[in-house]
Structure 1
Amino acid sequence: MNTSRARGVRCRRGLPDSVTSAVAPFGLALALVLGPAALALPAGPSASATPSTSPSDDSSTTASPDADEPAVTLTLTDMTPAVAQLGDTMVLTGTITNTTDADFVDPTLQIRVQQAVPGTAVAMERWFDASTGPRGRTVPGLTGPYPVTVPAGGSAPFSFSIPVDGEIGFPIRYDNWGPRGLEVALSQGGTTVTARTMGVFHPGETGEGETGEAVPEVDLQVGVLLPLTPTAQEWTDALAQGRAVSDLAGERVRDLVEATGPAVSWALDPALLGAPLGLSGGATAGSDPTAAPTDPTTPPTDTPDPAPDTGEDPTDPADPDDPDAPADPADPTDPATLTGDLVAAAGDRDILALPFADADVPALAGTGETGRDLLTAARESANELFAAVGLQVSTTTAWPAAPGVSQDALRLATGAGYSAVVLDGVEDPDDAEGASTSTSASASPSARTDVTSGAASVPALVSDPRLSEAVSGEAPPGATTSSETLASRQYALALSAVLARDVTADRTVLVTADRTAVGAIGTPDGGKAAALGSRVTSLLEAPWVTPTGLDEAFASTPSAGQRTTLPVTGDVTSAAFARGADLVVDGLTETMEIGSALERPEVLDGVDDVLRTALSGAWRLDDSSPAAATDAAEAVLQPYRDAVTVSVPASLVDLFAEEGAVNLTLTNTLDQRVTVDVRITPDQPALRVDDVDPVTIDPGASTSVRVPMVAVANGLTRVDVDVLSPDGAALGPVKSFDLRVRAEWETVGTGIVAAGLGVLLVIGLIRTFRRGRRGSDGNVPAPTPTEETP
């Protein structure tokens, strides 16, 4: 095993000329005991320090002392190398702060070392409580005056070098390597200030035991899973600005990828691979959704002369051979985009495919069948995005966002298509209530296990809770005299060493970086990606650690009989999330129905993505509402809900016949062709309306629609006009008009005419009858005046 990688930076510093005479006696004594390279006192500052008003590099070291705090404090900020091996020189650096009214001058320095290697994490953590924890033994060869002057109300840097050899106060052998507490004490007059940290010591490749045997290799396989997901704030900003969330999270994600190196696995939210959120899909006719708004206060400028014709299309993408040409934003694999950077950095690492927007599995578990449908859709959307950019990912492993993971959440995940799960470890039930996803602090269980949900059993990887918290940046309890950056890094190394010493066979340990802590990287309170990178790389480069990926961890053999039982329910579904989930379901249904009327329904795909962001676990982890997503989607859909306007008769319409028609005018306000159904609904049964054929309207155009009607009875009725998509979505407000049915007028008129004709027919018949009767009596009727007499 290659252990040289963990040696870190060798820092051997000499004495400055300004303090040589002051420390000569002390240095001579140490040289006699420890050798010529035993001690290097501060190489940077002079013995007489001036007040420092600049802030420390670590925000945790700049707190103002309370009344109960010591007036002089020492805060350790760094230790190099992180793992000390035989022959190294360990350098401790920090800051001395003096809040008293007197100078703190030339204190006596002592180095104290914990005598026994702690065998458990709990025993190791006791060291950081200086009042009740174990006391360290003073190393005689590392005791003497420390030349420094810290003025009243000021501060001064601290630096001290410790040679790592047999005289450090304990031997470094195969049987006693590991973490040991280190304490630095500075005393002057009646004032003593101390600072504690944790060193990790290893004999190195050539280390041998007391009898000369080689140090046995301990193979602790450690996998680190890094979440690359947008935060709630990044989602909020992206939604407000209508931009791709990768634009807002890009810098943070790039820093994380660079700092943590190629050995970590990723849990990647595919939303970071997507295009800008679809917040401009509702463009109306004649508008350009991509055009920037014009400032009315800006005076118009002269139109420039047209450019000469060069034979090139100015809309063509940038020249790929020109390194200075702008990237083509339509190409997601372009190295200038975040997607391109992620694809390039992916290499052969294992990547876990999170559902779109890192959908909140525990919260969705509280929404029943709706949750399963939504998670299934989010998983399928993720798979499509990963396939589009060519990333090889694991699509069947879920990593629900803790806390709140339960059997209900596991059933939901398996129902949505997942067949394995990664779980964030929690405390043993003997130590804390909740799920049993870890063993005791004195054991080193394998990460590979099986998690039970009712009668079902699912392959799982369970992270080590303490080690995961340390890598995420959490310092051990009581570590107040070291910066969080130093304390958490050394804590992580020390924990891994305790785990490695505890194993009797190869073990796999999983570290899951906390989503919230990783999301805070780059914020004033979240530290820097470099600090996380230091913790990760120091851990994975430790001599006793072999980095491993998720696939190898899943392929390992679980501990015999090891099973992990989750609580039945997580109870993390808030009322706001449940309401948001219902709105997402309604919105997804509406976009599908509206799309059936559009010539280009794909413009609504981005709206679906906006809706699905409401399901992100980031909202719960940030204790915020997903309303920002649902409200944004509502705003985008509104132009489609008003896509077609209807002009109806403004006055009362009379229908005098049993059949008739009313003309309506439909206007398309969108910038694309629509095909709609017109539905006429009378509120009285006196009227029956025949179906109208689907109507196609060009962008910004109007068309007249003839609606046939059949009178059933006389009366006054209100008629409602709905314009719907073929799948039933409303594309405009309901319009109404009044219609009076007088179908009997036609019948009465026909009767009157018929009666008149009947009367005329009767009169004609009577006259004919009378003429015929006179002829039969022999009387010849008198001739009319026009007739001639024979």
Structure 2
Amino acid sequence: MRYLANVRRGLTTGMLTMAITLGVLGPSTAPALAASSRQAQPSNTTPEQVTTTTGGPSASSKTLGTAAASRNLQLTLSRVSPTSVTAQDDLVVTGVARNFSARALKNVTVSLRFSYTALDGRDAVVDWVEKGDVATTGTLLKSQDLGSIRAKQSVPFTLTVPAGGLGLSSWSSSFGPRPFSLVASSAAGRQLDAIRSTLVWAPQGSDSKLGLTLLAPLTSVVPSTTAGLATEEAAAELLPDSRLSRILTATDDPAIGWAVDPALLAAAQSLKEGGISDAATKDDEEADGDEPTSSSSASPSQPPDNEAATELGISNETAKTAGTAWLSRITSGRKKRTVLGLPYADTDLNSLLKGGKSSGLLRQSDKLGESIEKEALGSSLYSRIAWPADGQISRQAIDGLVDTGHQSVILSEGQQPADPEISYTPNGKSTVRSKDNTLTGLLYDDELSGLFTDSGRDPGAETTQTMLAVLAAISTESAVTTSDSQSRQVLAVAPRNWDPRPGDVQRLTSALREASWVSLSSLKKLGQSSAVDRESHRYGRKALRSELPKGNLSNALAMDRELGNIAPALINNQDVVQRLEQRITSLLSYAWRSDLDGQAQARRAVMDDVGDLTGKVQLLIGTESKVFTARSALIPVTVDNKTDFDLRVSVSFSAGSGQLKIDRQPDPVTILAGHRQSFRVEATAIATGNVLVQTKLLTGEGTKQRVLGSPQTFEVKVRPKWESWGMIGMAVLLGLLLLVGLLRSFRRNKTRPKVPLSTIPDIDDEATRAARKATKEAAPRVATDEFPAANAPDTPSAPADVTDSAPIQRSAGATERSPQGSGTGEDKLRASGTGSASGTPGTPRGMHEQKSSSVPTMAATKGAERRSPTMPKENR
């Protein structure tokens, strides 16, 4: 049974790992373990260089159950040709024998042994390669004497079996994998080392082709808060000899699909355009808790996934060249290849979609990735297929993926075993369900994925031969047990931290293209294949415990919300928003699972950067209590913009009760960087009372308005009658003041001393008297002017009682002069307050016809008589 075989394989793997740890045994015999325990070598490293750098047997050396393995000699299988053997083909097996001991090994012989019995099924192939008994390959096909191998020396060998030498018949021998072994022995017959491998016997080709889809991720494995920014670390990941560049070289064949992190495209594009950004590098150093430095202590070619100094010494020109070249390789490699777009920064989907409330963050991550893909590649990648990095998915994550428009999810086949159990390998397709939603599951074969991964770590051809044999066995299973064997589709993927040797992967893909039983396929064909019934997918406590801390998600959601609120206000600075979005999303990268201790420091650094933008825009309400005393008035607030960017914002007011009505909301305005702006809203008082008024700072317009910061609340004491009562009170006060003034005036009149009316001089009399005086004074001057001094004796003398020098006696009242030419020639005195010259009391005078003082004067000068309308007729 396949299940039991997997159990046995797991136990064997555990025992071998323990043996290596204790130093009792040599490296494991399994190709997967051998590759995983070996450090990745540069793409141009030869097998001989591997030997000299490691200083001992590599991890591909084998420990056998039937013979003691020598720690001094190691055999490596370099190539088996052809890929599929027929009766007409010469079988050529090449390899290398290495002596790691300090002394020479004499008379070493290498033998090629073979078994005619086919390996029945994929489990039999794996069991043979991992722990098979070399004695079962009893037929000796070929041997070669290597002679003496000096200490630390490598000797190549080639074993050729002519056509027909296998002893298999084209008619009687069926298609399928056959076991063979390479055994190194001494002259005394002691076995020094052995290799177990396979070849595929294909006398007439395979009757069916197995569809195989290969997928490799292009993601960063370095945890960072600056994913996608032009940092020095990003440039190091794109250098020609970096891990990502080795993946591109290894997957040069378009049969291998790519799953690309858009953050890498963003970094390559930024480096191409402007080189390394000092601000982005500083942000990365602050997130790591390092002080920015200016010295460089690392080689520019040092891979970023190795421990390196903070400064890698990469020049701007080198960074631009690396970004340009890497982006060009992605653009040209997209042709005729399956390319998926991952969420930005390779988000940890299970950690992100925890709780079912953060699908908006995933939607934003996808949107950000699509915009970057269009800018860097000219068009967006297909991003409706999700790929959790650990091959597992929670039910909450399924709901979140459905909510964000995803249609399929790539998972490990081990999460959904066939139910009921079957004896063949089914299509890698399933249905993944949550309580309310379903997704199409694209299941990758764990065993094939391990072999695909190890093909890039194995300096020999052992892994390639094992994978060809397993695929041949699967092809045989499907041909026997199913009627749709022509459409059988399986999937193999590489892990996120894959660091392959390009030449070894290229050897595998070349062999797969030559294999008659394999058809290199695509995810589309896998999704169109039929599915068998499977168990519900598994997501246990172990997977739950390995998620990112809850603080990463909660803080990322809060920062994203604040950033989304201020984004519409930044009119011409959306690049600032995108940079902060990239940093927030970086906190949820799957790469952070490898550095849980550094997450807190990184999270604080990003929070500080977001807070520097959103926290510098404040809504100031002044006092928390305001008095509204009028029927209609303005309520003022102030917005303080302390950022370095111009913001377009508005303010809204809402009353907590109907006692106060907001008539009209303020219009949006643009506030310059470092300035303040006052907003005043007109409100109308409806009824007396205390009303809570809430004011919000808004960005955007229309239905897309967002609230920036926390709403502010203040109390308004609505007293609309105070204005009326105040006016009434002022009117009453003014009335009282007027009344008091009148009373005081009345009292003053009563206490004032009374003056007799007769003592008041008459204005007309005063004017007449002044006129007479002027006439008298003017008479001598006139006479002198008209009659010269020579005629003075002829001038009549003045009356005896009138002289020029005689003083004029003023009367208490008015005087009346006789008409010119009258006989009296004198003025008659009139008693004060009377209307006649005789002193007899007369009628009081009223309004005079002429009030000007010039009239009497002119009358007196001409000698005319002034007549008073109140004067008695007899006195005129």
Same structural fold, with TM-score higher than 0.5 when normalized by the shorter chain:
yes
1:223–1:677 Cα change, 3 Å: same
**How far, CA to CA, are the matches of 2:556 and 2:759 in structure 1?**
97
**How far, CA to CA, are the matches of 1:700 and 1:187 in structure 2?**
84
Q: Secondary structure at the match of 1:563?
A: coil
**How far, CA to CA, are the matches of 2:213 and 2:348 in structure 1?**
21
**How far, CA to CA, are the matches of 2:220 and 2:331 in structure 1?**
21
2:646 corresponds to 1:673: yes
1:553–1:728 Cα change, 3 Å: closer
**How far, CA to CA, are the matches of 1:420 and 1:706 in structure 2?**
51
Instruction: Quote the residue 1:594 is aligned against.
Output: 566
**How far, CA to CA, are the matches of 2:642 and 2:444 in structure 1?**
55
**How far, CA to CA, are the matches of 1:415 and 1:619 in structure 2?**
25
Could you tell me which of 249, 266, 281 is aligned with 1:274?
266
Could you tell me which of 93, 98, 101 is aligned with 1:95?
98
Q: What does 1:207-226 correspond to in 2, within 5 Å? A: 207=203, 215-226=204-215
Identity value in percent: 18
Q: Secondary structure at the match of 1:171?
A: coil
2:537 corresponds to 1:567: yes
User: Which of these two proteins has the greater Rg computed from alpha carbons?
Assistant: 2
**How far, CA to CA, are the matches of 2:455 and 2:109 in structure 1?**
32
**How far, CA to CA, are the matches of 1:656 and 1:552 in structure 2?**
73
* TM-score (norm. length: structure 1): 0.65
Conserved 8 A contact 2:412-2:445: yes
**How far, CA to CA, are the matches of 1:617 and 1:451 in structure 2?**
22
Q: Which letter maps to 2:121?
A: T
Could you tell me which of 341, 358, 361 is aligned with 1:374?
361
Could you tell me which of 475, 478, 490 is aligned with 2:465?
490
TM superposition shift of 1:466: 0.8
1:277–1:663 Cα change, 3 Å: farther
Instruction: Quote the residue 1:255 is aligned against.
Output: 246
Instruction: Quote the residue 2:446 is aligned against.
Output: 465
1:646–1:146 Cα change, 3 Å: same
**How far, CA to CA, are the matches of 2:74 and 2:579 in structure 1?**
51
**How far, CA to CA, are the matches of 1:126 and 1:181 in structure 2?**
13
**How far, CA to CA, are the matches of 1:589 and 1:484 in structure 2?**
50
Instruction: Quote the residue 1:106 is aligned against.
Output: 107
Conserved 8 A contact 1:259-1:534: no
Unaligned runs of 5+ in 2: 1-47, 272-276, 284-291, 295-316, 480-484, 655-659, 686-692, 715-721, 762-831, 834-876
Q: Which letter maps to 1:162?
A: L
**How far, CA to CA, are the matches of 1:456 and 1:292 in structure 2?**
44
TM superposition shift of 1:345: 1.1
Instruction: Quote the residue 2:306 is aligned against.
Output: none
- 1:703-747, Cα deviation, whole Å (9 max, x unpaired): 56487999x9xxxxxx999977565665799999xxxxxxx9xx9
Q: What does 1:548-697 correspond to in 2, within 5 Å? A: 548-556=521-529, 558=530, 562-567=532-537, 569-570=539-540, 572-573=543-544, 576-603=548-575, 604-620=577-593, 630-631=603-604, 633-644=606-617, 668-677=641-650, 693=666, 696=669
Q: Secondary structure at the match of 1:378?
A: helix
TM superposition shift of 1:373: 2.8
Conserved 8 A contact 1:425-1:438: no
**How far, CA to CA, are the matches of 2:74 and 2:633 in structure 1?**
92
1:232–1:256 Cα change, 3 Å: closer
**How far, CA to CA, are the matches of 2:706 and 2:184 in structure 1?**
78
Considering fraction of residues, name the structure with more helix.
2
* TM-score (norm. length: structure 2): 0.60
Q: Secondary structure at the match of 1:233?
A: coil
Instruction: Quote the residue 1:150 is aligned against.
Output: 150
Instruction: Quote the residue 2:180 is aligned against.
Output: 181
2:491 corresponds to 1:511: yes
2:102 corresponds to 1:126: no
Q: Which letter maps to 2:75?
A: L
Q: Secondary structure at the match of 1:498?
A: helix
Unaligned runs of 5+ in 1: 1-48, 208-214, 280-286, 299-325, 427-433, 476-481, 522-526, 682-686, 713-718, 737-743
Instruction: Quote the residue 1:193 is aligned against.
Output: 192
Instruction: Quote the residue 2:779 is aligned against.
Output: none
**How far, CA to CA, are the matches of 2:245 and 2:427 in structure 1?**
31
TM superposition shift of 1:590: 1.3
TM superposition shift of 1:167: 6.9
Could you tell me which of 721, 727, 746 is aligned with 1:768?
746
TM superposition shift of 1:589: 1.8
- 1:65-97, Cα deviation, whole Å (9 max, x unpaired): xxx996643333342136363214211224222
Q: Secondary structure at the match of 2:59?
A: helix
Instruction: Quote the residue 1:317 is aligned against.
Output: none
TM superposition shift of 1:467: 0.9
Conserved 8 A contact 1:277-1:609: no
Conserved 8 A contact 2:512-2:518: yes
TM superposition shift of 1:222: 3.1
Q: Which letter maps to 1:641?
A: T
**How far, CA to CA, are the matches of 1:607 and 1:175 in structure 2?**
62
TM superposition shift of 1:700: 4.5
Instruction: Quote the residue 1:532 is aligned against.
Output: 505
- 1:200-224, Cα deviation, whole Å (9 max, x unpaired): 2435xxx4xxxxxxx1433333333
TM superposition shift of 1:642: 4.5
Q: Secondary structure at the match of 2:158?
A: strand
1:688–1:69 Cα change, 3 Å: farther
Conserved 8 A contact 1:58-1:485: no
Instruction: Quote the residue 1:60 is aligned against.
Output: 59
TM superposition shift of 1:59: 5.5
Q: Secondary structure at the match of 1:638?
A: helix
TM superposition shift of 1:489: 2.6
Q: Secondary structure at the match of 2:466?
A: helix
Instruction: Quote the residue 1:499 is aligned against.
Output: 474
**How far, CA to CA, are the matches of 1:467 and 1:290 in structure 2?**
40
Q: Secondary structure at the match of 1:583?
A: helix
Task: Give RMSD over aligned pairs.
Answer: 5.8
TM superposition shift of 1:196: 1.6
Q: Which letter maps to 2:470?
A: L
TM superposition shift of 1:288: 11
Conserved 8 A contact 1:407-1:568: no
Conserved 8 A contact 1:645-1:733: no
2:446 corresponds to 1:443: no
TM superposition shift of 1:594: 0.8
TM superposition shift of 1:147: 0.3
Q: Which letter maps to 1:259?
A: A
1:770–1:611 Cα change, 3 Å: closer
Conserved 8 A contact 2:384-2:405: yes
**How far, CA to CA, are the matches of 1:277 and 1:637 in structure 2?**
24
Q: Which letter maps to 1:198?
A: S
Conserved 8 A contact 1:461-1:554: yes
TM superposition shift of 1:98: 1.8
Conserved 8 A contact 2:84-2:200: yes
Q: Secondary structure at the match of 1:615?
A: coil
Q: What does 1:3-82 correspond to in 2, within 5 Å? A: 53-55=52-54, 60=59, 72-81=71-80
Instruction: Quote the residue 2:257 is aligned against.
Output: 265
Conserved 8 A contact 1:667-1:700: no
**How far, CA to CA, are the matches of 1:446 and 1:678 in structure 2?**
59
Conserved 8 A contact 2:215-2:257: yes
TM superposition shift of 1:495: 1.3
Q: Secondary structure at the match of 2:210?
A: strand
**How far, CA to CA, are the matches of 1:645 and 1:448 in structure 2?**
54
Which structure exhibits the higher relative contact order, with contacts defined as CA atoms closer than 8 Å and separated by 6 or more residues?
1
1:291–1:451 Cα change, 3 Å: closer
Conserved 8 A contact 2:175-2:205: no
TM superposition shift of 1:673: 1.8
TM superposition shift of 1:186: 1.7
Q: Which letter maps to 2:442?
A: L
Conserved 8 A contact 2:225-2:584: no
- 1:383-405, Cα deviation, whole Å (9 max, x unpaired): 44445534475443333333432
Instruction: Quote the residue 1:416 is aligned against.
Output: 404
Q: Secondary structure at the match of 1:565?
A: coil
1:564–1:418 Cα change, 3 Å: farther
Q: What does 1:204-353 correspond to in 2, within 5 Å? A: 207=203, 215-233=204-222, 235=224, 238=227, 242=231, 248-249=237-238, 251-260=242-251, 261-274=253-266, 336=324, 338-353=326-341
